[in-house]
Amino acid sequence: MTRVDYLLAELRCARARARLWQADIDAVAIALKGGLIHPEQALDLLHDRDALHLVGPVREEELA
Segments forming the whole domain that contains residue 38: 18-63
Condensed to tens digits (0 to 9), the pLDDT of residues 29-49 reads 999 999 999 999 999 999 999
pLDDT interval class at 57 (50, 70, 90): confident
Q: Is residue 7 part of a domain?
A: no
pLDDT computed for residue 56 by the predictor: 85
Give the chain's end-to-end CA distance (angstroms, integer). 53
**What ranges make up the beta strands (E) of the chain?**
none
Domain count, the chain: 1
Q: Is residue 1 part of a domain?
A: no
Q: Is residue 52 part of a domain?
A: yes
Q: Is residue 27 part of a domain?
A: yes
Q: Is residue 3 part of a domain?
A: no
Q: Check the CA dihedral 22-27-38-47 and report its sign.
A: negative
pLDDT computed for residue 61 by the predictor: 66
Q: Is residue 13 part of a domain?
A: no
Q: Is residue 2 part of a domain?
A: no
